[in-house]
Amino acid sequence: MAEADARNLAQRVQGGERRALARAITLVESGRADHRAQAADLLEALDTGKQAMRIGLSGTPGVGKSTFIEAFGLMLTGQGLRVAVLAVDPSSARSGGSILGDKTRMERLSRDPNAFIRPSPSQSQLGGVARRTREVIRLCEAAGHDVVLIETVGVGQSETMVAEMADLFVLLLAPAGGDELQGVKRGIMEIADLILVNKADGDLAAAAARTRADYSGALRLLRRRPQDPEGFPKALKVSAQEGTGLAEAWAEMETLAAWRRDQGHWQARRRAQARHWFEEEVRHGLLAQLTADADVRCRMAGLGDAVARGETTPAMAATEMLAFLRGRDASGT
């Protein structure tokens, strides 16, 4: 893609063309070297003035994330907001494939002209998000979306990477999903800005009320974060099935976002996130260089075989490998 083509695609994305946005996302998610260069040109050509509210959403499988996002997204589009949903599906450890079925689950939202749903495979990326999710967020912002919902894979308490690309992080829980002790465990709990107990309806209404109370108590035991106003983080009840509690949850998100903007935490967080992803790109680039060099691959394979045979320990082999790399750098080869 020539520079002029990148500018043209960027203009079409910013003009709100859904097909152009889909094509741009496919380009930035590609791992081909030529596509990476083209994606860099495209991202450079974008007008990044638009800042959507980026909301990360996580929860265990079966908690109702897709149902919640559809109901929540329809409520937002009903208010005239444009919503983008980036749904990350787990990839098979054996085949590498993903089902990518979230558009089927969110059938009504996918038909809404003010909504855009894009499922992406997690591939080998840890932390519940795809490798290029942050770049896709930028594309959605450039396309004029007001809210970007990032639905993570849903793998448990270690799923914290989404907090490095979202302005707000929402944790969705099921009724009777844990007691107060579970709530004070570190990891995903301590980065949540809002905890929503879903399925607070029917026979589960009473259990949802108890779960919300348990987690409210747990949150009071956690140290207050400097980026939070009094009362945050907090736990609420919602029912995606009945649509109850969604407006209250959105009001709390807006309150928290407004406070952080006024206090300077919003932009400070975005600057810190940009630095984090710069460092991540450097790490990925260094690893890519390792696998691209034949001598390095040969030495890695040899040391790996030695470790497998029990002739050396992983730590000793890693030390030898790093010494080999430093020697190469010193010699200029």
What is the Cα gyration radius of the chain? 22
175 with 204: CB under 8 angstroms? yes
Alpha-carbon distance 62 to 68, whole Å?
11
pTM, two decimals, is 0.83
pLDDT for position 177: 61
pLDDT for position 13: 94
Alpha-carbon distance 174 to 95, whole Å?
31
Alpha-carbon distance 171 to 83, whole Å?
19
pLDDT for position 89: 66
* pLDDT above 90 for 248: yes
Q: Of residues 89 and 268, which shows the higher confidence score?
A: 268
C-alpha 50: how far from chain center:
19
Task: Say if strands 53-59 and 168-173 run parallel, antiparallel, or are unpaired.
Answer: parallel
Q: Which DSSP category does 117 fall into?
A: E
Kindly report the CA angle at 309 between 304 and 311, in degrees rounded to 5? 85
Which residue, 165, 267, 167, 180, is CA-closest to 221? Answer: 180
Q: Which two tokens stand for residue 157?
A: 């308490």
pLDDT for position 111: 93
83 with 147: CB under 8 angstroms? yes
For 189-221, the pLDDT digits (tens) are 778 899 999 999 999 999 999 989 988 888 887
Q: Of residues 182 and 320, which shows the higher confidence score?
A: 320
Alpha-carbon distance 189 to 174, whole Å?
14
Arithmetic mean of pLDDT, 130-150? 89
| pLDDT band for position 68 (cuts 50, 70, 90) | very high
69 with 106: CB under 8 angstroms? yes
| pLDDT band for position 102 (cuts 50, 70, 90) | low
Which residue, 141, 119, 118, is CA-closest to 43? Answer: 141
| pLDDT band for position 54 (cuts 50, 70, 90) | very high
Alpha-carbon distance 236 to 221, whole Å?
17
* pLDDT above 60 for 100: no
Q: Which two tokens stand for residue 218?
A: 């747990």
Q: Which two tokens stand for residue 27?
A: 């380009």
- List the single range of 15-29, 87-101, 187-201 with lowest mean pLDDT: 87-101
Arithmetic mean of pLDDT, 17-21? 94
pLDDT for position 95: 39
| pLDDT band for position 277 (cuts 50, 70, 90) | confident
- Measure the N-to-C terminal CA separation of the chain; round to a whole number of Å: 32
Instruction: Look up residue 174 and give its amino acid.
Output: A
| pLDDT band for position 90 (cuts 50, 70, 90) | low
